Amino acid sequence: MPLDSGATIGPFTLAYQTYGTLNADRSNAILVCHALTGDQFVCEPHPVTGKPGWWSMLIGPGLPIDTDRYFIICANVLGGCMGTTGPAETDPETGRPFGLTFPVITIGDMVRAQMLLVDHLGIDQLFCVIGGSMGGMQVLQLASAYPDRVFAALPIATAARHSAQNIAFHEVGRQAIMADPDWHGGDYAARDIRPTRGLSVARMAAHITYLSETALHRKFGRNLQDRQRLGFSFDADFQVESYLRHQGMTFVDRFDANSYLYITRAMDYFDLAAEHGGVLADAFRPGGKPTPVRFCLVSFTSDWLFPTAESRAIVHGLNTVAANVSFVEIASDKGHDAFLLDEPEFHRVMRGFLEGLAEHRGLGQRLVASR
């Protein structure tokens, strides 16, 4: 497969999960795209952590993304570390882990790989493509590059380009990883060691950006671990410190440091307008005509990583070409993470949008009648 960098990759593995049943005319497939540290285990326990899938609240029988009605596909992104070919996998040419010899990939490459899977499954047109954060970038990319291959698109808490601040936070994480002597220029796997300290710091820094100040305050405030008094040491005095350290430590058990470098890089490189002469609207004007894809955008009021203004910019681009678009800003104080949390209004919006589409496409009945 050709890559945006000019390199090629292949053969490669794309690890994916499906839920529900593909109907006879293959018209009920929903592609779910995961975020930076997500994976294909979207609504089943994670094989490493044993925790529920990251959208278990949203995907399942009778849930907004109803597995009795739709056929859900979720693939680990190219460059990932949950089975899809990425820097931690063995390079068949050398018999050694790729490490930094893995090519730098883009959101476009991730989507191209997923479309090979969609082809492989014999699906001409996806019913919908859905994703939040980096998943939303893939949604935008797919809808822009393959307007005839998807009926509707649901980009959530995302942006058409990574901002300077977002790039800056990613760069801090990458520097933390690369500063870890156990990183060994990316060649740690061959040495049977992992840069866990650097990756943990990267995760801690990123995790702060996923939460709002309000959420952190409500959750922890200045509460102490030992409620009696300050420790006057560098142990975790405050609950928020202990929480962050835990986030960092558990993350390294399930994620590869080089994958983190590659995937953050792909996000930084994402700039949908740049591929269209700097005019975002042109990303949604294939062959000079308005995109046929139906869009529903969702943002959250307290998300400062992918603020509402970024969604508005996309809506503006879609409006410019008179595309079919709806946009909902959900009032939430949970920050960027809101798209992964129990936000009833968000879930209602998703259910409503999909039900409307399903009616339009004649997917009005649940495929499994008895449950």
Residues flagged as binding site for substrate: 203, 337
Does position 42 interact with a second copy (CB under 8 A)? The reply is no
Tell me: cis bond preceding 52? Omega within 30 of 0 counts: no
In whole angstroms, the minimum distance from the beta carbon of 195 to a second copy comes to: 9
Whether 133 is catalytic is yes
Tokens coding 207: 């995790």
Strands 29-33, 126-132: pairing kind:
parallel
The residues near 326 (Cβ < 8 Å, ≥ 6 apart) are: 295, 296, 297, 353
Tokens coding 299: 């943002």
Whether 336 is catalytic is yes
Whether 311 is catalytic is no
Does position 233 interact with a second copy (CB under 8 A)? The reply is yes
Does position 36 interact with a second copy (CB under 8 A)? The reply is no
Nearest Cα to Cα of residue 323 among 293, 278, 355: 293
- Give the end-to-end CA distance of the chain in Å, rounded to a whole number: 42
In whole angstroms, the minimum distance from the beta carbon of 183 to a second copy comes to: 11
Q: Check if the beta carbon of residue 159 is closer than 8 Å to that of residue 301.
A: no
Does position 240 interact with a second copy (CB under 8 A)? The reply is yes
Answer for which of 269, 295, 300, 306 binds a second copy (CB under 8 A) is 269
CA-to-CA dists, residue 158 to 145, 154, 187, 247, angstroms = 17, 10, 32, 23
Task: Please tell me the count of residues contacting a second copy according to CB under 8 A.
Answer: 59
Write out the binding residues for a second copy, residues 97-116 only, by CB under 8 A.
100, 103-104
Answer for which of 63, 116, 193, 205 binds a second copy (CB under 8 A) is 205
The residues near 89 (Cβ < 8 Å, ≥ 6 apart) are: 13, 97, 98
In whole angstroms, the minimum distance from the beta carbon of 171 to a second copy comes to: 5
| Contact pattern for a second copy over residues 170 through 189, marking x by CB under 8 A | -xx-xxx-xxxx--------
Nearest Cα to Cα of residue 153 among 169, 167, 165, 137: 137
Nearest Cα to Cα of residue 159 among 55, 268, 239, 255: 268
Strands 90-91, 71-75: pairing kind:
unpaired
Comparing CB distances to a second copy, the nearer of 70 and 306 is: 306
Answer for which of 94, 122, 164, 191 binds a second copy (CB under 8 A) is 164
Q: Find the catalytic residue in 133, 144, 212, 302.
A: 133
Answer for which of 123, 204, 296, 321 binds a second copy (CB under 8 A) is 204
CA-to-CA dists, residue 47 to 37, 106, 254, 341, angstroms = 14, 27, 9, 21
Answer for which of 158, 200, 259, 291 binds a second copy (CB under 8 A) is 200
Q: Check if the beta carbon of residue 152 is closer than 8 Å to that of residue 294.
A: yes
Write out the binding residues for a second copy, residues 63-102 only, by CB under 8 A.
100
Report the catalytic residues: 133, 303, 336
- Give the footprint of a second copy on this chain (CB under 8 A): 4-7, 100, 103-104, 161-165, 167-169, 171-172, 174-176, 178-181, 197-198, 200-201, 204-205, 208, 211, 213, 216-217, 219-222, 230, 232-234, 236-238, 240-241, 244-245, 248, 261, 265, 268-269, 271, 274, 304, 307
